[in-house]
Amino acid sequence: MTGKLERWFRLSERGSDVRTEVTAGVTTFLTMVYIAFVNPSILAEAGMPLGPVFVATCLAAAFATLVMGLYANYPIALAPGMGLNAFFTYGVVLGMGYAWEVALGAVFLSGMLFVTLSVLPVRRWIIDAIPHGQKMAISAGIGLFLGVIALRSAGIIEGSPATLVTAGELTSAPAVLALLGFCAIAALSARRVPGAAILGMLGVTALGLILGVSEWHGFASPPPDPTPTLLALDIGAALQLGMVAVIFTFLIVDLFDTAGTLIGVAHQADLLDEEGRLPRIQRALMADSTGTVAGTLLGTSSVTSYIESAAGVGAGGRTGLTAVVVAGLFLVCLFFAPLAESVPSFATAAAILYVACLMARALKDVEWDDITESAAAVVTAIAIPLTYSIADGIGLGFITYVAIKVLAGRWRECPPMLLVVALVFAAKFIWL
């Protein structure tokens, strides 16, 4: 068996071995398994049944990660993406009023477009067309959006007719426990403790049970029935004109989030070539895009590559065997649905707020000395949470970017595709 693994994953060529890859896989899994608890809780607010979404989350993560490991041979794990699930629930379903089945159809169409782009050379042209500052602003804006969602979920902030938003009941048990969980996760991460997010969530859940503010549903059981979300997507309804911007937003966020994660993790693992490019990027993108398509068929939002894979790389993971181990652990996770149901919203809020902080760090890479870059980036980053729409925030940011560049006499710095996209968003705001 060791010989077969060596030949398939080329372990010695990358300076690794089976034991190191298994350790790396366990490390990556512990850092990202929180998504199995958080994703169902977010999509449940869109009206989706929690148990089947838990199954869909684990299966989609296992499938996409297995493709990444066996086909692309990279130590990168995938799962339904944070931010994308928030846009699904709060933007498309609750914000625009579409049924979750229609939203799944939109994700499916974005996934099919992603598959097409993954096999065409046009993918690099699209990635290069979006200015670096806007990419960073989108990531940070989604992070701020998640932060608002987390604070609201914990009752730390609430709506106000006078000031738009105000402080909630800060001394309530959910608010205190959410903040305590967040601080614990951040502190454990600072100490480089593997699985900081899941440990913080479970610790706060235990405190909630002791204080009587959460309920215990059990530890393990056979996986829930997946049929309520299996093949429940409505592709026909997602083909209407009003969904074009939604499909585009799912696609662009997934595409750039994946590209950034792949390059970042590969750089850490020293897997880039002499020109700083990722070999077999087509295969890696295919794993991501087919994961999204499979995820919608199972009943979950867009699947994307996880930056938490860097934890496994830090533990020595260099090949797809690391990803295969992660995929196997997600299948094992299927039997812990009662535990997922026992995690209260204030515990998941702690993990979401932590992820928000990680994503907001992208603002540091904006070119702050160039006002034509930084001004549009700030608009994008603050418009996403304040409009409560990732799509509208991206649209406002693109329009602002193009307008500033044109008025500053630097219109040549705007890629043609960005001009087209900005005009599309402008038309959407005017007529739709």
Per-residue DSSP letters for 156-187?
SEEEETTTEEEE--TTSHHHHHHHHHHHHHHH
Instruction: Considering only residues 71 and 307, tell me which one the structure prediction assigns the higher pLDDT.
Output: 71
Tens digit of each residue's pLDDT (9 = 90 or more) over 144-157 = 988 998 899 899 99
Instruction: Considering only residues 280 and 124, tell me which one the structure prediction assigns the higher pLDDT.
Output: 280
Distance CA 163, CA 64 (A): 44
Indicate whether 215 pLDDT > 70: yes
Return all residues near 335 (Cβ < 8 A) that are at least 6 apart.
220, 221, 222, 223
Indicate whether 387 pLDDT > 90: no
Which amino acid is located at 213 in the chain? V
pLDDT grade for 176, boundaries at 50, 70 and 90: very high
Indicate whether 240 pLDDT > 80: yes
For residue 280, what pLDDT is reported? 82
Structural domain boundaries enclosing 427: 2-431
Q: Structurally, how many domains does the chain consist of?
A: 1
Kindly report the average pLDDT of the chain as a whole number: 89
- Overall average pLDDT of the 395-420 stretch: 90
pLDDT grade for 124, boundaries at 50, 70 and 90: low
Tens digit of each residue's pLDDT (9 = 90 or more) over 71-82 = 999 999 999 998
Tens digit of each residue's pLDDT (9 = 90 or more) over 37-58 = 999 999 999 999 999 999 999 9
